[in-house]
Amino acid sequence: MDGLGEHSVPIIVSKLCSAVVIGLLALGGYLIPKFVSKRSRLYHDTDKYEKIICLFNCFGAGSIMGMTFFHMMPETIHLCKHSGLFIQLNDSIFNMCYPLILCGASLVLLAEHVIATRDCHPCPDFSSGATKHEESTTTVNTVDQNNIIDGSKCTSITCPGHEFTTINPLYEIDCLEGGKIAEPAPMRVNLLERIRNMCKCRGFFLAIALAFHSIFEGVALGSSDSHAHVWLLFLGIASHKWAAAMALSISLCSGNNKKSTIVTLVAIFCLATPLGIFIGMGVSKIGNIYAGIMNALAVGTLIYIGAEIISHEFSATGMGRLFPLYQWLTTIAGSSLMLVLVIIDLLYIPHHH
């Protein structure tokens, strides 16, 4: 890459435009569930919208996988090899991009399925006005069943010989007061308390996990050194960014979260990819070895995300006998589109390596 030559400025402009558009797509994806929900209430036609959204998700996942395997992975392997990121083993070399790719996928797996464990557990059954711990015969006195049914007021209940795990730690059952739900104590308005409350928010870890892999997607785009690669990555990221935003929207809006909390988490998610793009632009000027590391982590992230979306969408039931075929066809269509773009890139776009 030649400093700030005639080719660098247009690439920078392309990256900045990509950052803005991807951020807007994320915001638009967040608003889609609200629109669909409103339409379904008015016209009672949720099945049609669910199928359309599912097919778009499959197309996006297919484009992610195609972009990753046909374009990103070969270039990442080449970049790592020529930047010295390998181990010499007698007459052979072991390219370190492969364990880095696995590391990228493993980190997202850790974030989404270990750190972001399910934060919602079913409330104890108070249908008879009392309940029992599985290993205890002592009962809790009468509880206001109407409040218990409201999931926002369920929490971790701790009594002598009893322990239940439920939803909201702001509410607790006082055993000395006949098991009645006590109102939450006033919250301390300080940074630490705000962070704790944020972590208790439904959808918090999902937002952080999505932001995590969004940053690495942005790094891959920002560290690219050709127009074709930039726009190819832009298409791959844009094709699924809205779907991830929809998942986050559904999770956040299904809980009793404050509006300020929702706005904060949505802003973090929307700005994650643009931030990654800026980081990648800086990395590309530091050295190929760092760009290779970041790209390898991004490849692992994209492989994991693409496979996860496909697995999730194909597990949907009640869509009709032929619907899985339509899902498969749209997935292949997404991958085929990326393959065509890669072939055009190789045929008509000059490469410096």
Q: 122 is written with which tokens? A: 């079913």
Which DSSP category does 179 fall into? Answer: T
What SS3 string covers 10-70? HHHHHHHHHHHHHHHHHHHHHHHHHHHHHHHHHHCCHHHHHHHHHHHHHHHHHHHHHHHHH
Q: Hey, what's the torsion of the CAs at 54, 52, 57, 335, to 10 degrees?
A: 120
Number of CB atoms found within 10 A of residue 150's CB: 16
Residues 129-155: tens digit of each pLDDT: 444 444 443 444 444 444 443 444 444
Query: Average pLDDT of the chain?
Result: 70
Q: How confident is the model at residue 101 (pLDDT cuts 50, 70, 90)?
A: very high
Q: What is the pLDDT of residue 289?
A: 79
Residue 25 contacts residue 238 (beta carbons within 8 Å): yes
The residues, ordered by sequence, that sit 6+ positions from 345 with a Cβ below 8 Å of its Cβ are: 71, 228, 229, 232
CA distance 241 to 301: 14
Q: What is the pLDDT of residue 234?
A: 85
Q: What Rg do the C-alpha atoms of the chain give, in angstroms?
A: 24
Is residue 351 over pLDDT 70?
A: no
SS3 23: helix
Closest C-alpha among 173, 139, 138 to residue 155: 173
Residues 33-85: tens digit of each pLDDT: 777 666 655 555 667 767 877 887 788 788 888 888 988 888 889 888 888 88
Of the listed ranges 12-16, 249-253, 290-294, 325-329, the least confidently predicted one is: 249-253
